[in-house]
Structure 1
Amino acid sequence: MASAEHDYQHFIQWLHRPDGEVPEDVRRFGRLVLDNFSSVSATTRNRSQRSVYLVDLVRQQFTAIDPGQPQLNSIATGAGWGWQSLSHLSLGPFRGFRNTEEFDLTRRIVLFYGPNGSGKTSLCEALEFALLGAVDEGAQKRIDAAQYLRNIHEGRFIPPQLTALNAQGQRVVVQVDADAYRFCFIEKNRIDSFSRIAAKPAGQKTELIAALFGMDDFNEFVSQFNESIDAQLSLLPEQGQELTRRRQAIAHDTELLAGEAVSIAAFDQVEREYAEAFQSGWTYAQLQQAVGSTEVPGRLQALREILNKPAPSLYGIRQQDFLSAFCAADEAHELVEVLAGQLALQQDGTAYQELYTSVLGLQDLSPDHCPACETAIVGEQHVHANPFVKAVQGLEHLRALTQLKQRHQAAVDQRRIASDKLQAFFANFSQRVGATVDSEHEVFRYLANPSVQPGTAWWKVGYTPVAGGASLSQQAVNYALQLEETDAATQQNLEQRAQLIAERDRLSEAHIVLTQHVTRRQHACAAIAEARQRINAFELQNAALIEAVAEEEARIAAETRIQVAYNEFLSLLRHYRSGLPGTLMAGLNNLAMELYNEFNVRDVAVDKLAALHLPVTGDGRIELSFIGSPQVRVDALQVLSEGHVRCLGLAILLAKASHIQAPTVIFDDAINAIDHEHKQGIREALFQNERFANTQILVTCHSNEFIKDIQNNVDRAQWVSYTFRHHSGDHHPRVLRDLPPQAYLIIARAAVNRGDHRGALQPCRQALEMLANKIWRWLGHFDLGVISVQLGGVGDQPSLRNLCEGLRVRLNGARTFEHGDKQPLLDALALILGIPEQTMLWQYLNKGTHEEQDREDFDEGVVEQLVALMEGMNTLGLRKR
């Protein structure tokens, strides 16, 4: 019943929920649509009409829109019910009402009966406008409210005045609250639409569920948004593409320039790392300073100057080596002298040794004869002693002499070796110091020519002291010490020079690396500089195009911003709409199921519902389970007939009104949307059960029988009835008040009161027929609905008396059935039927319905008794368990 704009306002509030985290541009887009809702809703998705309009609107206003939450005064707070029931409505001029009409609404049930076109819809629209602030029908037809609500004959309208009673019984003016009262209305067209849901494609079922709750306008409004607005936006960078094509010629330069900072940083990093690797803690500047240059010499140049000078040479002469050579020669010579003396003492033994050796040398030539006398060694004539044996024995005795000779010879050889070494030392010494036989100093001449005589102790000549000083050999040894000391100093200098060479070599290598690095860096900087020149030239040549591209980029950025905002806005809007079924139907499953079963009270038990599952999303299905197979869930729209679907729609709407504890429910011709066989169940559920006992119900209906049944089954004090008739020429509906009610017992009582006894009997019989059926249904609730009734023939209906007798017998025979209404019913039925004593009551019921000429008057007392008896039966609650 609320307008699409009202529902959209709720969406705007939803966008600003604290935990929503909705982007500001989406809120801007939503606010833009809200501020221009009428013009936006007038467009459709056909040929992208809405997209074209929105894009034009957004381009003009988007950036200026405040993304903050707007003040929506038209949305009520829904803080609770400020009243308990409606009390009075004043309307006109308004729609079909040309003049002012007053309606008393203080009863729990207010009935408006009349044919189509008599003003019932105008009445409901007046209530709708007074409660919701708008009329949905006018919004659907896109007619301005002032134009739609005016009476065409008066050319104007006055807002209806609606008052209500609060908890203290005080009359208060009803304030417009679309959120609170939208579910107080139940309309025929909404149930009609819902009943056709099974015949619709799956994509339209969401729309019809929205229609059931009066949100079809909002659903239609949302569905008219195009999937995309890209076709209406300028998102193609044509100028940018042309500039990109041209920039391909300088792509390498652009890339080079873009990487300038990275390239320089890489060079700096290499420099830092190399300097640190060369020497810990050094910077690149320190390394450059050490390497130096031609203009500013550094450590490298200083080292080169130092190392370019000739390195000092070593003499390689050690005093100890010289002394050792002299000592070795002296020791070898002394050993020769000792051994020679020993050989001189054994001169004779030497001669025999030579003799024996010579004899043995001849043994191989004359082994059998003496080599001196040729006498046979063995035979008759033989030598006195074998010369060879004697030679062997003699040599054995002379072995020590042989060893002495060998030792002497070895000593001579050792002296020669020592002499050669000493001679070589002299030669090396003289060469090292440059000594010659012509040298100025005598010691140099001695070193150059020490007078070597092989096989003699020639070195001892130098042991002879020189006049006035040490011997030449001693001078040579002393000089060797001087040279050794000089070499020590020179060696230290050479070690330092090696370190300088290593330092020079490292700096030289660093100089090469730095030179290469500088070259690479210079080349890189030169390449960047050249690239910058070419890019600057390009910028100058294409300045106009570049400016156009900048403007194009700004425009595309703005268009892209709109695109993103629209896509997110549409996604959230559809998400919000998809979640509406779950919001609207939350908590209604059990209550709607109970109402549905009450509407279909006459269906067999297995065809009633065991469970009902209403959808929680727009794509969900209404599923149910029957008592006959409670474990099986089926799609309600596939298995229910159209009449049952209508009952289901009405049950859902009533469950929603009951769930929110609506104080008033207004049926706008909704009962006429239900087929005849379900109207009785609906009437009993609405007007005779306790569920809605505290709910005010307003009904407009063109079914006279339905109005009559309500009046007959509801206490007269609870309802008031208005009858609308077509105008009689003044273009204003005729509103009939205080008409005789259609309730049988009220009619009977009125007849008794005016003394029309015959007039009271016919409605009494009709009331008994109604009460008999009511009692029969009541017994059925306690499994006592099977009764025995006599029939007059095939196809006959049971007569009223037979039905009453069957009911009395069934009640009387149910010994274990205990109920407060049981005995009063038995007593009343017995009186009417004349059991056990015959009375006039049944005769009056029969006679009073037929025309008879010249009949005697009916007894006033009997008629009064009959009417009172019927009234007493009618007051019985006949409650269920």
Structure 2
Amino acid sequence: RIWAGRSFADVCDWLFGNAQIKGRLSYVQGLLNAPSPQIYDVSQVNLTALLAEAYRIDELLSAAKQQLAARAADVSYAHLYEAVLQLNDGANSCPACGTDLGNVAQNPFERARVGLQQLAELAAIEQKKVQHDQALSSALHELLIAMSSAIRALVAVSPEELRIANLPLLPPTSAGEWLKPWLDNNQHAWLTLLNLVVSIEKKDAESHLILGQRHDLAQERELLDGHRSEIERCRTIRAASLQAVLDAQNEVAQFEVANHELVVEVATEAQQIAHHKMIKDTYDGFLGALRQYLDGLPALLLQGLGQKARNLYNSFNRDDPPAELLHALWLPLAENGKIEIEFAAEPGVRYDALVILSEGHIKCLGLAILLAKNIDQGCPVVIFDDVVNAIDDEHRNGIWRTFFEDDLLAGKQVILTSHAEEFLHRIQQELGVQRAQLIKVYKFLPRGGEHHLRVDADPPTKNYVLLARASLAAEEKRDALRHSRPAIESLTDRLWTWLGKRGDGRLELKLSGPRANWELNNKCVKLRGALGRVLNPHPAMPAVIAALDDLLGINGGSIEWSYLNGGTHDAQRDNEFDRAAVLRIVDAATALDAGLAQLQQGR
């Protein structure tokens, strides 16, 4: 409030002063304690007006005197009449001749009274003369007083200039012609006085200014006194506060001395508490981040997987009726959410998947979701741990075909475990020779009382074509034909399935009796004819047809075809198998496997 933007110390120095500067309060007080300047109240205007007034009255007096001089005889009569009237008091006779007033021709007193009445104008002029004379004396007296005041002021203000001017002396009274020396010589002395009065006027102006400033200074002093009181109050409060601080510090010091050991323990415990608080704060932050992550994890893991999981589920269940396939699938994006599905036969109607689906279908759905996530993230490895457990054979067929025929796992390392021996056997057949050779198989054997695992790290392959080729290489022609029969059956079945997806898959097969099995040779003949009628054949089709032609080029009544048609019975045979025919059959099966793989890759 006193001086915005400045410190308390600055304000105190400004108000009270210090060794370098004088305080504003003492400065203002010193100015007010100094004597008040003299006001002489002398001016040229006042002196000139007084002289002019004297001149004016003198002119009026001169005019009255002139009028009286012009009527001097009247003036004598007036004096005579006044003298006669003065004798009127108790008179019984004429003052001039002593005649009794009753005997005179004209009463002298009455005549004097009448004469004065007739000379009333003259009396008025006389009265004015007297008044003017008195007024002139008064005016000259006032002029003398004013001039004396001016001289006294000049003695104080401009003594040297007054001495040099050598003005006439002023008399103590205004009697006589005291003014004449001031007006002689064209009013030289008078005008000199007026010129000297200018310095008095300046001095009076300065004095008036100082007196006006004293009023302002008095107001400022009152304001500064208020500031002084406020500062003293603040100093008192500060002193009390500092004393309170000192008392508190003393008390704290005494406390620290008395409780030194406890203070040390508290400081040690404070460090532990601070450390624990840091751990707790960090844990709370981590826990919050973890909860936030867990809350968003379902949406993060399942984002965009609904369509892919639905397609995989339908692929797993490809052998189900079309109405039981899924039209839409919604995965939960929050905790405790439901997996909802729509069937192709009931679009728009949602069901809780875990309520309406069977255990096998639920396993297919879970497998579809996980595989969709694996594919979506581009994982280089996929592990199936007993994937077809509690899944029927029909769905196993759809699962392995989805894995290995739809190229969904192309470029991935697949690790698959299963107790289903036929499932693994079927996979090795369906993969074809080229891919079956890339498989690494480990077989866990039953324990015979020992307490360690028994693992067959190189079990024989289950692929019939590879088995046939291995038997032929070992000159086991019978075993080669034995393995060739199921190889050709599997290859032609897969080829027939491929044909059914590309057009009319119906074939007419001949049976030798009501309960007889169809012959493999007849199946190959019919399949060869159907493939030859396919429009816009695949580039691999000629190789497949050539393999069938090569296979059918062997006489259908030969011992080799008889063995292939009849199966692998251990019947008594005297004739040896022709190695060239067996080699031709194995090579045809190998070529048919390679061509079928190309057809399936081209879909």
TM-score, normalised to structure 2, is 0.59
Instruction: Please state how far the C-alpha of 1:858 moved relative to its aligned partner.
Output: 8.0
Q: Does 1:304 align with 2:18?
A: no
CA separation of 1:330/1:736 partners in 2, compared to 1, >3 Å: closer, same or farther? closer
Q: Does 1:528 align with 2:248?
A: no
Contact 1:722 1:737 in 2 (8 A): yes
CA separation of 1:516/1:797 partners in 2, compared to 1, >3 Å: closer, same or farther? farther
CA separation of 1:690/1:564 partners in 2, compared to 1, >3 Å: closer, same or farther? closer
Instruction: Please state how far the C-alpha of 1:510 moved relative to its aligned partner.
Output: 6.2
Contact 2:68 2:126 in 1 (8 A): no
Instruction: Please state how far the C-alpha of 1:709 moved relative to its aligned partner.
Output: 1.8
Instruction: Please state how far the C-alpha of 1:820 moved relative to its aligned partner.
Output: 3.7
CA separation of 1:685/1:522 partners in 2, compared to 1, >3 Å: closer, same or farther? closer
Distance in structure 1 (CA, Å) of the matches to 2:548 and 2:407: 26
- Letter in structure 1 aligned against 2:35: I
Distance in structure 1 (CA, Å) of the matches to 2:460 and 2:140: 169
Match of 2:396 in 1: 679
SS where residue 447 of structure 2 aligns?
Answer: coil
Instruction: Please state how far the C-alpha of 1:557 moved relative to its aligned partner.
Output: 4.0
Distance in structure 1 (CA, Å) of the matches to 2:590 and 2:274: 82
- Letter in structure 2 aligned against 1:425: A
Distance in structure 1 (CA, Å) of the matches to 2:584 and 2:544: 15
Q: Does 1:819 align with 2:535?
A: no
State the number of aligned residues: 507
Match of 1:324 in 2: 52
Contact 1:724 1:736 in 2 (8 A): yes
Distance in structure 1 (CA, Å) of the matches to 2:128 and 2:467: 174
Distance in structure 1 (CA, Å) of the matches to 2:323 and 2:126: 146
Q: How does 1:174-253 map to 2 (within 5 A)?
A: none
Match of 1:703 in 2: 420
Instruction: Please state how far the C-alpha of 1:511 moved relative to its aligned partner.
Output: 6.3
Q: How does 1:117-516 map to 2 (within 5 A)?
A: 267-268=8-9, 270-271=11-12, 288-289=22-23, 291-292=25-26, 300-301=29-30, 304-307=33-36, 319-332=47-60, 421-429=135-143, 443-447=171-175, 471-474=177-180, 490-505=200-215, 506=217, 508-509=221-222, 512-513=225-226, 515-516=228-229
Contact 1:336 1:408 in 2 (8 A): no
Instruction: Please state how far the C-alpha of 1:425 moved relative to its aligned partner.
Output: 1.2
- Letter in structure 1 aligned against 2:142: N
Q: How does 1:839-878 map to 2 (within 5 A)?
A: 839=557, 844-848=563-567, 860=578, 869-876=588-595, 877=597, 878=599
Match of 2:495 in 1: 775
Contact 1:304 1:504 in 2 (8 A): no
CA separation of 1:286/1:827 partners in 2, compared to 1, >3 Å: closer, same or farther? closer
Q: Which has the higher helix share?
A: 2
CA separation of 1:648/1:638 partners in 2, compared to 1, >3 Å: closer, same or farther? farther
Match of 2:375 in 1: 655
| 1:519 maps to which of 232, 255, 258 | 232
SS where residue 538 of structure 2 aligns?
Answer: coil
Distance in structure 2 (CA, Å) of the matches to 1:563 and 1:413: 123
Deviations 1:568-627 (A, max 9, x none): 344455667778889989999999888767655556789889999999999999999999
Distance in structure 2 (CA, Å) of the matches to 1:615 and 1:773: 41
SS where residue 819 of structure 1 aligns?
Answer: coil
CA separation of 1:725/1:540 partners in 2, compared to 1, >3 Å: closer, same or farther? closer
CA separation of 1:602/1:510 partners in 2, compared to 1, >3 Å: closer, same or farther? same
Distance in structure 2 (CA, Å) of the matches to 1:805 and 1:312: 156
Q: How does 1:731-750 map to 2 (within 5 A)?
A: 731-736=451-456, 741-747=461-467
Deviations 1:747-800 (A, max 9, x none): 556677788877666654433432233123212443x265266899xxx99967
Distance in structure 2 (CA, Å) of the matches to 1:846 and 1:581: 57
- Letter in structure 1 aligned against 2:140: F
TM-score, normalised to structure 1, is 0.44
Contact 1:591 1:655 in 2 (8 A): no
Match of 1:73 in 2: none
Instruction: Please state how far the C-alpha of 1:474 moved relative to its aligned partner.
Output: 1.6
SS where residue 35 of structure 2 aligns?
Answer: helix
Distance in structure 2 (CA, Å) of the matches to 1:529 and 1:511: 26
Distance in structure 1 (CA, Å) of the matches to 2:194 and 2:306: 120
| 2:363 maps to which of 643, 647, 652 | 643
CA separation of 1:553/1:767 partners in 2, compared to 1, >3 Å: closer, same or farther? closer
Deviations 1:144-176 (A, max 9, x none): xxxxxxxxxxxxxxxxxxxxxxxxxxxxxxxxx
Instruction: Please state how far the C-alpha of 1:476 moved relative to its aligned partner.
Output: 7.7
| 1:766 maps to which of 486, 509, 528 | 486
- Letter in structure 2 aligned against 1:422: L
- Letter in structure 2 aligned against 1:819: H
CA separation of 1:833/1:557 partners in 2, compared to 1, >3 Å: closer, same or farther? closer
- Letter in structure 2 aligned against 1:428: E
Deviations 1:44-92 (A, max 9, x none): xxxxxxxxxxxxxxxxxxxxxxxxxxxxxxxxxxxxxxxxxxxxxxxxx
CA separation of 1:411/1:635 partners in 2, compared to 1, >3 Å: closer, same or farther? farther
CA separation of 1:553/1:312 partners in 2, compared to 1, >3 Å: closer, same or farther? farther
Deviations 1:445-488 (A, max 9, x none): 544xxxxxxxxxxxxxx6xxxxxxxx445258689879867865
CA separation of 1:859/1:578 partners in 2, compared to 1, >3 Å: closer, same or farther? same
Contact 2:14 2:23 in 1 (8 A): no
- Letter in structure 2 aligned against 1:875: A
Match of 2:116 in 1: none
Match of 1:728 in 2: 448
Deviations 1:430-449 (A, max 9, x none): 677999xxxxx9954544xx
Distance in structure 1 (CA, Å) of the matches to 2:125 and 2:327: 138
CA separation of 1:707/1:528 partners in 2, compared to 1, >3 Å: closer, same or farther? closer
SS where residue 648 of structure 1 aligns?
Answer: helix
Distance in structure 2 (CA, Å) of the matches to 1:719 and 1:319: 142
**Structure 2: runs of 5+ lacking an equivalent:** 73-120, 150-168
Instruction: Please state how far the C-alpha of 1:855 moved relative to its aligned partner.
Output: 7.4
CA separation of 1:686/1:496 partners in 2, compared to 1, >3 Å: closer, same or farther? same
Q: How does 1:478-627 map to 2 (within 5 A)?
A: 490-505=200-215, 506=217, 508-509=221-222, 512-513=225-226, 515-517=228-230, 519-536=232-249, 538-539=251-252, 542-543=255-256, 548=263, 551=267, 556-572=273-289, 599=316, 602=319
Q: Which has the higher contact order (CA 8 A, sep 6+)?
A: 1
CA separation of 1:337/1:733 partners in 2, compared to 1, >3 Å: closer, same or farther? closer
Match of 1:175 in 2: none
Q: What root-mean-square deviation, in Å, do the aligned CA atoms of Structure 1 and Structure 2 show?
A: 6.2
- Letter in structure 1 aligned against 2:139: F
Distance in structure 2 (CA, Å) of the matches to 1:539 and 1:572: 44
CA separation of 1:604/1:429 partners in 2, compared to 1, >3 Å: closer, same or farther? same
Match of 2:158 in 1: none
**Structure 1: runs of 5+ lacking an equivalent:** 1-262, 276-282, 293-297, 345-406, 436-440, 448-461, 463-470
SS where residue 306 of structure 1 aligns?
Answer: coil
CA separation of 1:563/1:501 partners in 2, compared to 1, >3 Å: closer, same or farther? farther
